[in-house]
Structure 1
Amino acid sequence: MTTLELQQLNSMDASDFHHTPCYCEENVYFLCKKLCSNGIADAQGSDLFVVFISNDNKQIPLWHQKASHRADGVILWDYHVICIQRKRDGDTHFVWDLDSSLPFPCPLATYMSETVRPSFQLFSEFQRFFRVVHAPIFLHHFASDRRHMKDSDGNWTAQPPTYETIVAEDGSVHNLNEYIEIHAADVGKYLPADLTSAVFSQKHGVVFGEAQLEEFVSQIS
């Protein structure tokens, strides 16, 4: 990593990015766009990966989350979305999580050990799975009209952002469910030799178990 890149990263603050509570997928969408436009990431976002975290039960514990009311910052999300940046020079990859109380951005290894805590023994229903989508593909296809944030009477369950809803470049108005539906059976659908090409080509990326994620990112060339 160059000295300039380090200076840019050290100068970043979560408050520099748009953040609406409970709309993490939209927050990450605009975070990726800003990282591309301000030179922190490649202009096309080729070094960025959008990661959806969830499971069959829509119950995933993550630590060091600002929305938590506990000292350890643990919270049970139905799903969460972060951005991982792969740095071409050096071994450090970074996580951009606008809802985290850890350093921003946070080294991937630190984020995994402190937020995911794979060494913490969880019941099987709380195991986390990670859908990794290459950012250029995500920015092209993702759409949300926020219908998932309304109750049966049409009332908002959380105050929505003030800007317009995100419409995909192909005209889709809502496909969030295609990303957040993550199941244990999705892991291992691709052979190891095909994983990288799948992440860089598939609309919905590839689903990993928590033991595989960090290793995969470190191996991307």
Structure 2
Amino acid sequence: MASSKLDSPSTATNVPPLDVSHFHHTPSYCEENVYLLCKKLCTSGLADADGSDLYVVFISNEKKQVPLWHQKASHRADGVILWDYHVICVQRKKESGSSPLVWDLDSSLPFPSSLASYVSTTIQPSFQLFADFQRFFRVVHAPIFLRSFASDRRHMKDSLGKWIAKPPAYGPIVAEDGAVHNLNEYNEIIAADVSTVGTDSLNAVCWQKLGIVVNETQLEEFFSMDAS
């Protein structure tokens, strides 16, 4: 992901705030950071072993300019930054009464934060934005993402083949089916793709490779639905 400039809340969660430095983070490679985050949450016991309570959420729009607040890469006091796209993990525990959690490695908010707190402070839906800055969210079930996602990092090279941002030290991520790059399938998000939130969408996200797309007024609704 890339950013450009645009001219402390804390809410109790079901998981105590963790030290974000214990998780792998390469600046500008949020999709890979979240891929590794999901794996670590599964192996550490912080999530279901198969990742069934985790969702990878891509945030973008047709113009590739989405403002988010409380981002550590920002140079402003309010932490606002304009990403071309951003990727976070949302955890939806099966236990009754559990609040959905957001794991955002680039956020200055508590790690993790409740979804309600993250929406109100990072997405700020009450803030009036021009149409070009509206945020859309591709929600992908983590077990599917971990099998299907691939990136050879071609999007981080300029026309001369030079790196725009230093790549991670580990090798590129290859999908189980052998695909070497499909990031564009995930971060290409348009308003026409927005789904109606309901039982069908809850089921669809559990079997569709690219999940479903919701708008910013539907995000909390989707994660508050009864899975039963």
Kindly indicate whether residue 96 of structure 2 is the aligned counterpart of residue 94 of structure 1: no
Alignment of 1:108-119 (within 5 A): 108-119=115-126
1:11: Cα distance to partner?
Answer: 5.6
For structure 1, which segment, 171-180 or 89-98, has the greater mean C-alpha deviation from structure 2 after superposition? 89-98
The one of 52, 71, 74 equivalent to 2:58 is 52
Match of 1:216 in 2: 222
Root-mean-square deviation (CA, aligned residues, Å) is 1.3
Equivalent pairs counted in the alignment come to: 214
Match of 2:134 in 1: 127
1:31: Cα distance to partner?
Answer: 0.1
Amino acid in structure 1 at the alignment position of 2:216: E
The answer as to whether partners of 1:91 and 1:218 remain within 8 angstroms in 2 is no
CA distance in 1, matches of 2:136, 2:216: 6
Q: Could you tell me the TM-score, scaled by structure 2's length? A: 0.91
Q: Could you tell me the TM-score, scaled by structure 1's length? A: 0.94
Q: Kindly tell me: are residues 191 and 114 of structure 1, through their superposed partners in 2, closer, same or farther at Cα, counting changes over 3 Å?
A: closer
1:133: Cα distance to partner?
Answer: 0.1
Large movers: runs of 4+ above 6 Å = none
1:119-178 per-residue CA deviation (whole Å, 9 max, x = no partner) reads 000001100000000000000000000000000000000000000000011111000000
CA distance in 1, matches of 2:199, 2:26: 38
Match of 2:38 in 1: 32
Q: Kindly tell me: are residues 220 and 160 of structure 1, through their superposed partners in 2, closer, same or farther at Cα, counting changes over 3 Å?
A: farther
Identity rate, percent: 70
1:192: Cα distance to partner?
Answer: 3.0
1:193: Cα distance to partner?
Answer: 3.7
Alignment of 1:75-94 (within 5 A): 75-89=81-95, 90-94=97-101
CA distance in 1, matches of 2:131, 2:39: 35
The one of 164, 170, 181 equivalent to 1:163 is 170
Which of the pair is proportionally richer in helix? 1
Q: Kindly tell me: are residues 155 and 128 of structure 1, through their superposed partners in 2, closer, same or farther at Cα, counting changes over 3 Å?
A: same
Consecutive unaligned residues in structure 1, runs of 5 or more: none
The answer as to whether partners of 1:61 and 1:74 remain within 8 angstroms in 2 is yes
CA distance in 2, matches of 1:199, 1:56: 21
